[in-house]
Amino acid sequence: MEALSVDSIPEGPEWQYEPKWDGFRCVVFRDGNEVNLQSKSCQPLARYFPEVVEAVRSLKAKRFVLDGEIAVPQRRAFSFDALLQRIHPAVSRILKLSTETPAILIVFDLLAGGDGRSLLKLPLQDRRRQLENFAAEYFDRETIRLSPWSEKLSEARKWLARAGGMLDGIIAKRRDLGYASGERNAMQKIKNYRSADCVVGGFRYGTGKKVVGSLLLGLYDDAGLLHHVGFTSAIAAADREEITRKLEAQIGKPGFTGRAPGGPSRWNGGKSSEWQPLRPTLVVEVSYDHASEGRFRHGTRLLRWRPDKKPAQCSMEQLQQKRADLLGLLP
């Protein structure tokens, strides 16, 4: 189930609030001895988190489906960098990290109960009640933990104020609706900053250098065209060589299939218009100060790479921020 980005917390008895954890979204499937972990983009995650697989397999319940977040605790916070290190091709490296920086699973929804029957059509308030019973009976509270929730707006505001380190913001969910995969009507996310997941559709080399100078960012429209929406040059100097190698391995068409980067303008300070097109495989999350007319205007900063996101999930809809409780904010 997807979340719609909004500027403020929705209010009303139909909403409940949860922390938005800084990790990888994960759906867990258990059927007997078989355990599968699936990312938000429907990619398999089990090989990257063997300690989570073993924890799920050790539960006494034999058939269920959970929705939650995988995170890596470090020094009383969650480390997204440590999480990214786990997406590694070498089994030996993964096993080493699973011991040195073990991940946890934070569960916030139950999609199929201990008897394996689907709960998708039940309203969230009923699924949550069953999840709490399920957690009390089965969770180990070490590797697999139950995410908190609240009906109180005051609690949601406290969580939002504490965002950073462990929390990425808060999630508001409709208590009276069932679980609707791929839809954004029943769930909203609120952060202390604006961000968007973008496809890297191309890049420019730095002036007089053979290392990346800026990433060219793209979002898909409803017709499936990838439009250039801006760029970010806020890349740490120590990371530029490694990122350049990653980008050069993906050079190729089509690049942008809709609106493409243009020549020098007031947005790029007269820099060269030459750019390298990339196959649409890489996704990054960027923060931004302002967007208008379907593009970022200034203040775009690279936050992180998102290997857990499908490029097709990077839609223009992200820039259409909506206010959830305007009347409540007006004096």
Catalytic residues: 20
Contacts of 323 (CB under 8 A, 6+ apart): 6, 7, 8, 329
**Distances 92 to 5, 308, 314 between C-alpha atoms, Å:** 38, 21, 32
Angstrom distance (rounded) from CA 269 to CA 188: 36
Is-contact 128 147, C-beta < 8 A? no
Handedness of CA 166, 171, 176, 179 (dihedral sign): negative
Angstrom distance (rounded) from CA 93 to CA 168: 27
Q: What share of the chain is helix, strand, coil (3-state, %, to 5)?
A: 20, 35, 40
- 271: number of Cβ within 10 Å: 18
Is-contact 176 124, C-beta < 8 A? yes
Residue type at 98 in one-letter notation: S
Collapse the DSSP code of 12 into the 3-class scheme (helix H, G, I; strand E, B; otherwise coil) and give the result: coil
